[in-house]
Structure 1
Amino acid sequence: MFMMHPQFAPAQVNSLLKAAEDAARAIPPAFPLTATVAVNPFLGQTGKDLATTAALMARVAGIRVNLPRSDHAAKLRAGEITDADLTAALAAAASPLKPRDVAALKALIAVERAAPQALPTMAELATRADGTDWPGVIARAIGLWAAGHFDRGQALWSPAPGLSTYAAWRAWAVHDLTPEIAGLTGFCSHVAEAPDTAERAILRAAQSLGLTEASAGTAFHRLLVDLGGWAQHARWLLWEAELKGATDATLTDLLAIRLIWEEALLAHRPYLAGTWQQVTEAHAAPVMASADDVADAILQEAAERAQQRQMAAALVNAHAAKERPSLQAAFCIDVRSEVFRRALEAVDPSVETIGFAGFFGLPVRHRPHGTELTEAHLPVLLNPALTSTGHGSETSETEARIAARAVRAWGRFRQAAVSSFAFVEAAGPAYAGKLVKDALALGGKAETPEPAPRIEGGLTAEAKAATAAAVLKAMSLTTGHAPLVLLLGHGAQVTNNPHESAYHCGACGGHTGEVSARLLAQLLNDAETRAGLAAHGISLPDDTLFVAGLHDTTTDQITLYEDGFGPAQSARLAVPRQLLLRAAEMARAERALRLPGATAATITRRALNWAEVRPEWGLAGCAAFIAAPRRVTARADLGGRSFLHSYDWQADKGFATLELIITAPVVVASWISLQYYGSAVAPDVFGGGNKLIHNVVGGIGVLQGNGGTLRAGLPWQAVHDGAKLVHEPLRLSVMIEAPQEAIGVVLARHPQVAALFDNGWLHLLALKDGAVAARYRPGGSWEQLTETRHVA
């Protein structure tokens, strides 16, 4: 039971601890490298608008959340942003601080703002006073300990295992002389005398540092931002715990640790008390957007409306639905699929492509071949309800595990303190050939697919039919089935890339979509499933065959799986394989134009090159999410920038599928979009740093160099080509073909999702007959657009 701190009244204690909790939830989670998932870096600020968030992040992180005004000025000169865009964005702004007219707004564009400066920490004040790089000392000291404490199997040794984060750090810090050598005399004693719980430490530090209920909120937030990816990893631990109905105190522990450093520095340099008091007073001031913050948010809005105009013009070219297609191919909604889908339909106009989240609606926890560990192959917003396995025969499992143990033992031998130098001396020459081959992209090979996955324990006939019906309805694929339906998950083949899972399927938890596609194809080809679908109002033609596949987004090669197929079924795939090869050539030719140094002929080698920092662009450029029948977007060149989700509202009785789309795929797409946005506009805080000097730590993330703060987010090379940004930071424009009333009902039932639109983190446009008909306004109203081609 927590005992009341003697210096604070009960209400003050509760307020300070609530401030610590709020600061923790203002930090975005960072998923480990084994299953990297895009996260909205502004997840804790979705209750605020962009201008207010700009004021907050300037205070606690010293970053801007918009592009420099010079970028908007360049777009204005090039005609990409028009006066009509500026006028519409200005009219939509509700702030009384906005410029009086477009002329005033354009005048501000010519005046670049100075880079924001965060309120200083005590460590930064001490650095200014004595010249010692205290932020660097703290980052290295905490980073060295945290790398071992949070390790997920990479390290050979972990300090104080089994203890809480706060207790483990104290056990380490009382013996770490680094701070005292740097000049912080008595730090070990200070740690030893610290309170025994994180909560008490936070309260003691609040008293020592003069933090009040008013100032603690952003002061705590500032210190957690200072911890970088370590704080974000701790936030992920809390996220994971809460998904399971539990909780986790790691992030609060880290805050207590960082506060102990702050109070130690102030105690050691009491002459800084007056300066520090000015900082705490600044933290106590309410966070309010300035006129400049408002103007920058309006410019951002204008850039997004300009992009929406281009998108609306492309959608007007919709064509009528075709007769029964010769082939249907369902791809993930991932923006990279848009290029391939367009190419495939161009190769054969009788082909119809479909867009759906890459886990294909199967909430699966998967146990791969050769291990008992499980992986969640579904969006991180959901909990798995099914368990699948890729285990083969007992003999193959034993062989796989022995091989895995041998690899691990060999790796540990190479890293061990006694053998590492001898290993280099003895084995170095033998590795020379391998290094040359890898450097020339000649040494890699694609992964071998594991045995066909299956649901553990199986499903009853009723469960099979119910699951299949739910998926087909969500895909708007209840009628008009082609003779062949390809279910194509996606993944990315890369080499020597710590962020490999970031190129895989976000809807599959940072894994490839192979397992989900193969499970669904088996389910839909199952005789019991088909017999039970009639009870759900769905009838599959007898000649319809579902085929699983995997789209390699780095090479545009597609692998088809013939799980349980006989010779006759396999023979039916000959023509589709040729179509896919021709479409792949077209897709590679288009993608090569964007990749530095690539040609259509060499693009596949990037997947094998261990030195390639840009194997592909991932989801860079993502700007829109469109939920509509394919006829709305078919033959429109959307430039690989749109998430395309197939949806027919007229077949959606009760709008259950609409609700699913708005609350799951739209939210996941917004996380992706905003991760790219944050990594582009604020790479120092929300970006992963420079790939060229990355070192993997703990199996959870990367350091830039050989120590310091964990880096979360996308590497700079994922958003920048060396000369300019390749990802234009725009908030996602969501376009849905459905009645406005139905969309409004869904948002009313999900206020957290509505907040994304109400506070401007997403745009929402309603489509009608393939054209933009209305724009959602904060609070739930709609602005009807009389001219559908112009959406400003």
Structure 2
Amino acid sequence: MKQTIPAATTLDPALASAISQACKHTAPAWPLDQLIAVNPYWGFVDQPIEQAAAQLASLCGSRLLMPRAFYQQAWASGQITRDALQAAIASSKTSISVDELVANLTVQGRPVEHLKLVTALLDENRDSPQIMSWRDTVVHQISQHCASYFDKTHAAWSPAQETGVYASWRVHAAADLTLALRMGHQRFNAQVLALPQDPLALIDAASRALGLTEVNQQAYFQALLLDINGWASWCAYLRWQARLGQRDDDQIVELLAIRLAWEVLLHQDQMQEVVKATWSAQWRELQANAIAMRESQRIDWLFQTALELAYQTTLCADLLRAPLPLRLDSESLHAAPAVQAVFCIDVRSEVFRRALESVSPSVQTLGFAGFFGLSIDFSPLGTVFKRPQLPGLLSPVFSAVQVCDSPALGQVLVQRRRAALQWQARWNAFRGSANSAFSFVESFGLAYAGKLLKASLDSQESAQRIEDAGLPAAQANTLRPRLQDAHPEDSAASAAARCDLAFGILGAMGLTGGFARLVLLAGHGSQSANNPHAAGLDCGACGGQTGEVNARALAALLNDRQTRKALAERDLQIPDDTVFLAGLHNTTTDGFDFFDLDLLPPSHAPDCMALKTWLTQAGQLARAERAPSLGLEAVRHQPLALERAVKARANDWGQVRPEWGLANNAAFIVAPRSRSQHMDLAGRAFLHDYQWQKDADFKVLELIMTAPMVVAHWINMQYNASTVDPQRFGSGNKLLHNVVGGHIGVFEGNGGDLRIGLPWQSLHDGEILRHTPQRLSVFIEAPQHAINQIINKHALVRQLVCHGWLYLFQIDTGQSVICRYQGCEWKYFAAISSRAEKA
């Protein structure tokens, strides 16, 4: 840098808007211990997906589409059909024939170069080879500093966070002699220290020094954040959480200032004048480059659309073959079911529900978001810890706590747990201290040998949960999660709040009559060992936790006599012999656990025994169905051997694929279960039970379209993004992961950017992809006018639908047709000609 960059006194409104908009385009990434799926393109949904794809390609070279060879293979295998190609052409109004389109399968279009940052142009124009490129140097340096700055777990010597990440970086970079050596001169440290102290002043001054204009400021800022997208996503998460709590957080703005500081330092110190001219010229052609990118992707979007249409056509035909008359709910049956089992809408539940229904026709299964409508945070007994148990879109309304049925014993357990956790905290502080960090393994490694050996050999042992931490198993099992009173000072108000909550949840579930003797609330969770991304396999609706807390808390609420009495006063009568029971489906092993069985009335013991038998049989069927995808075909038809094998996978420290999670998800069906019960959906569909005839004001439908549908879309787009652009939106190779900051995320190796998204092993089995990237197809059985009303009311829903981020279909029960919402209007898509064909 030739001279000190002067700081501006005020921030221009246009610049402030550019900063705000650039930061808005970065989607949040949740930490490992609360890992949930997120659409990484969330900030772009206010524009058509093809336009967003072109913009991303222009700014950083990212793609929302697969390589041409992928579509060629899909055509060869029959996944893409000729009819689907014709339909894709018709929907796009593109003047190309099917034969011309097929011919393009073997032709790779001419690539369009994306716009380059200063670091990228320096790397392209360097005279001699370097150990590390400028881009890698900058990303590594920023990333290492962020890892240290945001670390609250691993090390006891992290930089002071009260100064802000930019101020902290400026001080440390100015004192880092290795950076001066890398820059090739000693004055670099002084140049860093001469940068404006305020991050906004730095952004203003650096923008003027680089010659950025109102036309390209926002785009350039977006490109900078995309260049260090992992840490930008972490900062976006901090801002997201702060705003949920009615606060704010500007760490993402400070991160932008750091990345921009590097640009201006290198621009003025390392870049030759001719390269500067090239850099400046290309950013003046921002719009032209985006247009060229969009044109270059036009053919590939036709292939992608055809792939999706082929799947939708087959699915529509099957949905319209549902046997008549459609069963709406248990009230229409001659006899109530023996059991009603409410499962999460998760695609893994589809396999288990189908298996359970096949072993016992007296079981009615329902699909509902796995947090069971409880917007809660959870605190284990004797801790100040609070863990969200709800979707990331929401903030907690209620709290759940661990309680003990015996108050005296509860106090003893509180003291015991606090003592154990305090000891653990001191031990962790010792391990993380500067004095012991390098000698810990040598000094204490042998003390862990027995524990490591036991964990390695015992395939049945599971990792300790925070709910049980600090207590022996027998004592931990005496604790139960319960909802706290919303108004502790007013018992009547608390009782009313509990009744309102129960009434709303049962209505949303469609459970307003015809109750079975047993109603099972089946949460779900995963099981794996040595897996930093384990929470990502648990229930996303429960904030990356299992559904245990929510299921148990809701069962207790609905079994409460006072709550039932209040519900009866509102004409929602739960029979005296109906008991709600909480359980957990282990999606890795397809095992099933029950909770609080000691509270079950003796009269219902035979019912519970029958249910246990059916669940065991369902687990065997589900494991057999999943066995080939897990490489267990050899023991597929040996139930005991297969069960042992999946449990061994769940506890194998070296297993990189304990289960496939939500890979290959493709559809979200909002309808009575009888609409899809005859179908094998292959674990690709989210199933949400809904009966529009019982939803007089369509408030339940509005809730579904603004929450579960959005969550399903997030899951779908995270899997898609991790597949189409694994370098930027995936977390890479599991074998190389190192956890950052205890829970923040992972590095692939010992540096580089923070990796977000899914590991490659969660998408690919070593030979083929296990996830087919396609946009979510949403099918809703409800009147068009009701769906229209919700689309018109909610801008976000309207953007997702009208801008092509997901597909929306309406199942018309009266005319036996399915219509697609396209171009902001309904268009006929599929029909079945006669009831005979449906049978």
Q: Is TM more than 0.5 here?
A: yes
2:276 matched to 1:273?
yes
2:165 matched to 1:137?
no
Provide the residue aligned with 2:298 in structure 1: 294
2:47 matched to 1:51?
no
Residue from 359, 364, 368 that aligns with 2:380:
368
Asked whether the 8 Å contact 2:583–2:594 carries over to 1, the reply is: yes
- The structure-2 alpha-carbon separation of the partners of 1:415 and 1:788, relative to structure 1 and needing over 3 Å to count, comes to farther
Q: TM-score, normalised by structure 1?
A: 0.94
1:476 Cα deviation after fit: 1.0
Provide the residue aligned with 2:628 in structure 1: 593
Provide the residue aligned with 2:167 in structure 1: 167
Describe the SS at the equivalent of 2:341.
strand
Provide the residue aligned with 2:639 in structure 1: none
- The structure-2 alpha-carbon separation of the partners of 1:317 and 1:16, relative to structure 1 and needing over 3 Å to count, comes to same
Q: Which amino acid in 2 is paired with 1:760?
A: G
Provide the residue aligned with 2:249 in structure 1: 248
Q: Which amino acid in 2 is paired with 1:592?
A: A
Describe the SS at the equivalent of 1:454.
strand
2:774 matched to 1:725?
no
Quick check: 493-502 or 291-300, which moved more?
291-300
Asked whether the 8 Å contact 2:155–2:432 carries over to 1, the reply is: no
Q: Which amino acid in 1 is paired with 2:485?
A: G
Q: Report 1:614-763 matches (<5 A).
A: 614-698=657-741, 699-763=743-807
1:745 Cα deviation after fit: 0.7
Quick check: 433-442 or 737-746, which moved more?
433-442
Q: Which amino acid in 2 is paired with 1:625?
A: F
- The structure-2 alpha-carbon separation of the partners of 1:206 and 1:587, relative to structure 1 and needing over 3 Å to count, comes to same
Describe the SS at the equivalent of 1:267.
helix
Quick check: 283-292 or 156-165, which moved more?
283-292
Asked whether the 8 Å contact 1:30–1:39 carries over to 2, the reply is: yes
- The structure-2 alpha-carbon separation of the partners of 1:400 and 1:567, relative to structure 1 and needing over 3 Å to count, comes to farther
1:218 Cα deviation after fit: 1.7
Q: Which amino acid in 2 is paired with 1:409?
A: R
Q: Report 1:403-442 matches (<5 A).
A: 403-440=420-457, 442=459
Q: Distance in 1 between matches of 2:309 and 2:50?
A: 17
Q: Which amino acid in 1 is paired with 2:509?
A: M
The C-alpha deviation readout for 1:208-247, integer Å capped at 9, x for no partner, is 1111111112211111011121000011111112212222
Q: Report 1:251-400 matches (<5 A).
A: 251-271=252-272, 272-283=275-286, 285=288, 287-288=290-291, 290-319=294-323, 320-321=326-327, 322=333, 323-392=335-404, 393-400=410-417
Describe the SS at the equivalent of 1:710.
coil
Provide the residue aligned with 2:482 in structure 1: 454
Asked whether the 8 Å contact 2:665–2:683 carries over to 1, the reply is: yes
Asked whether the 8 Å contact 1:465–1:529 carries over to 2, the reply is: yes
Q: Distance in 1 between matches of 2:244 and 2:524?
A: 26
- The structure-2 alpha-carbon separation of the partners of 1:741 and 1:184, relative to structure 1 and needing over 3 Å to count, comes to farther
Provide the residue aligned with 2:583 in structure 1: 549
Q: Distance in 1 between matches of 2:656 and 2:455?
A: 14
- The structure-2 alpha-carbon separation of the partners of 1:506 and 1:153, relative to structure 1 and needing over 3 Å to count, comes to same
Quick check: 593-602 or 188-197, which moved more?
593-602
- The structure-2 alpha-carbon separation of the partners of 1:114 and 1:329, relative to structure 1 and needing over 3 Å to count, comes to farther
2:803 matched to 1:775?
no
Asked whether the 8 Å contact 2:548–2:583 carries over to 1, the reply is: yes
The C-alpha deviation readout for 1:551-576, integer Å capped at 9, x for no partner, is 11111111111263344444541111
Asked whether the 8 Å contact 1:215–1:284 carries over to 2, the reply is: no
Describe the SS at the equivalent of 2:357.
helix
The C-alpha deviation readout for 1:574-615, integer Å capped at 9, x for no partner, is 111111111111111111211235753311221111111111
Q: Which amino acid in 1 is paired with 2:793?
A: R
Describe the SS at the equivalent of 1:64.
coil
1:423 Cα deviation after fit: 3.9
Paired positions, count: 782
Asked whether the 8 Å contact 2:665–2:716 carries over to 1, the reply is: yes
Provide the residue aligned with 1:526 in structure 2: 560
1:294 Cα deviation after fit: 2.1
Q: Report 1:9-28 matches (<5 A).
A: 13-28=12-27
1:118 Cα deviation after fit: 3.4
Provide the residue aligned with 1:445 in structure 2: 462
Q: Distance in 1 between matches of 2:141 and 2:523?
A: 43
- The structure-2 alpha-carbon separation of the partners of 1:589 and 1:412, relative to structure 1 and needing over 3 Å to count, comes to farther
- The structure-2 alpha-carbon separation of the partners of 1:569 and 1:402, relative to structure 1 and needing over 3 Å to count, comes to farther
Describe the SS at the equivalent of 2:618.
helix
RMSD over aligned Cα atoms: 2.4
Describe the SS at the equivalent of 2:83.
helix
Describe the SS at the equivalent of 1:689.
coil
Asked whether the 8 Å contact 1:51–1:296 carries over to 2, the reply is: no
The C-alpha deviation readout for 1:400-427, integer Å capped at 9, x for no partner, is 2222233343344444444355443344
1:375 Cα deviation after fit: 1.3
Describe the SS at the equivalent of 1:28.
coil
1:369 Cα deviation after fit: 3.1
Q: Report 1:100-179 matches (<5 A).
A: 100-113=96-109, 117-130=113-126, 131-132=129-130, 133-179=133-179
- List runs of 5+ in structure 1 lacking aligned partners: none
Q: TM-score, normalised by structure 2?
A: 0.89
Provide the residue aligned with 2:472 in structure 1: none
Quick check: 273-282 or 565-574, which moved more?
565-574
Q: Report 1:34-49 matches (<5 A).
A: 34-49=33-48
1:785 Cα deviation after fit: 3.8
Residue from 645, 649, 663 that aligns with 1:606:
649
Q: Distance in 1 between matches of 2:481 and 2:453?
A: 37
1:646 Cα deviation after fit: 0.4
Asked whether the 8 Å contact 1:60–1:118 carries over to 2, the reply is: yes
Provide the residue aligned with 2:513 in structure 1: 479
Q: Distance in 2 between matches of 1:123 and 1:625?
A: 43
1:277 Cα deviation after fit: 1.5
Describe the SS at the equivalent of 1:343.
helix
- The structure-2 alpha-carbon separation of the partners of 1:573 and 1:774, relative to structure 1 and needing over 3 Å to count, comes to same
Residue from 530, 538, 542 that aligns with 1:496:
530
The C-alpha deviation readout for 1:134-159, integer Å capped at 9, x for no partner, is 11211221112111211132322211
- The structure-2 alpha-carbon separation of the partners of 1:435 and 1:788, relative to structure 1 and needing over 3 Å to count, comes to farther
2:80 matched to 1:81?
yes
Provide the residue aligned with 1:509 in structure 2: 543
- List runs of 5+ in structure 2 lacking aligned partners: 328-332, 405-409, 469-475, 636-641
1:508 Cα deviation after fit: 0.9
1:488 Cα deviation after fit: 0.8
Q: Distance in 2 between matches of 1:367 and 1:413?
A: 26
Q: Report 1:164-243 matches (<5 A).
A: 164-185=164-185, 186-243=187-244
The C-alpha deviation readout for 1:42-77, integer Å capped at 9, x for no partner, is 101112223222211112221221112222222222
Q: Distance in 1 between matches of 2:672 and 2:804?
A: 26
Describe the SS at the equivalent of 2:361.
coil
Describe the SS at the equivalent of 1:390.
strand
Asked whether the 8 Å contact 1:488–1:550 carries over to 2, the reply is: yes
Describe the SS at the equivalent of 2:142.
helix
